[in-house]
Chain A
Amino acid sequence: MNGLLLAAQSPKVHLTPQARILAAAIAVAFMAMILELIRRDRLQERYSVVWFVAGLGMLAGAAFPGLLGLVADAMGVRNTNVALFSIVLLLLLGLALNFSVIMSRQAAQITRLAQERAIERAREQAGGGRNGEGASAQPAERDPA
Chain B
Amino acid sequence: MRTLVFIPAWNEEASIAGVIGDVRRALPQAEVLVIDDGSADATAARAREAGALVASLPFNQGLGAALQTGYLYAMREGHDFCAHLDADGQHPADEVARLLEEVFADRADLVIGSRYFAGGEGQGEGAPGSDEYKPTISRRIGTSVFRFFLTLATRQRFTDTTSGMRAANRRVMALFSEHYSPDFAEIESLQLAVRQGLRVEEVPVRMLQRADGSSFLTPLRSAFFIFKGMIVLLVGQFRPRPPESGEGPGQVPPEPGDAGPIGKRVEAER
Contacts and interface: CB of A to CB of B under 8 A. Distances in A.
Do A and B come together as binding partners?
yes
Interface of A: 107-108, 111, 114-115, 117-119, 121-123, 125-126, 130, 132-134, 137-138, 140
A114 B61 contact: yes
B182 interface: yes
Interface in B82-128: none
B53 A118 contact: no
Interface in B1-55: 2-3, 24, 28-33, 35-36, 48, 51-55
Contact of A137 (B31, B36, B54, B78): B31
A121 B44 CA distance: 12
B76 A119 contact: yes
Contacts of B32: 134
A130 B30 CA distance: 15
A111 B61 CA distance: 7
A125 B55 CA distance: 9
B68 A115 contact: yes
B65 A137 contact: no
Contacts of B53: 122, 125-126, 130, 134
Of the four ranges (under 10, 10 to 19, 20 to 34, 35 or more), the interface on chain B belongs to: 20 to 34
B141 interface: no
Given A119-B69, A134-B24, A125 B61 contact: no
Contacts, number: 66
B68 A132 contact: no
Given A114-B57, A126-B53, A140 B68 contact: no
B226 interface: no
Contacts of B222: none
Interface of B: 2-3, 24, 28-33, 35-36, 48, 51-59, 61, 65, 68-69, 72-73, 76-78, 182
B69 A115 contact: yes
B35 A134 contact: no
A6 B43 CA distance: 74
B57 A115 contact: yes
A137 B30 contact: yes
Given A119-B55, A134-B24, A134-B53, 18 more contacts: A108-B182, A111-B65, A111-B68, A111-B182, A115-B69, A118-B55, A118-B58, A118-B69, A121-B55, A122-B73, A132-B51, A134-B32, A134-B51, A137-B3, A137-B30, A138-B2, A138-B31, A140-B78
- Per DSSP, are chain A's interface residues mostly helix, strand or loop, or mixed? helix
A134 B55 CA distance: 15
30 contacts: A111-B61, A111-B65, A111-B68, A111-B182, A114-B61, A115-B61, A115-B65, A117-B58, A118-B35, A118-B56, A118-B57, A119-B55, A119-B69, A119-B76, A121-B54, A121-B55, A122-B53, A122-B54, A122-B73, A123-B77, A125-B48, A126-B53, A130-B53, A133-B28, A133-B51, A134-B24, A137-B2, A137-B3, A137-B29, A140-B78
Nearest to A141: B77
Nearest to A118: B55
B59 A115 contact: no
Contacts of A138: 2, 31, 77
B268 to A, nearest CB: 32
Contacts of A123: 77
A122 B59 contact: no
B178 to A, nearest CB: 10
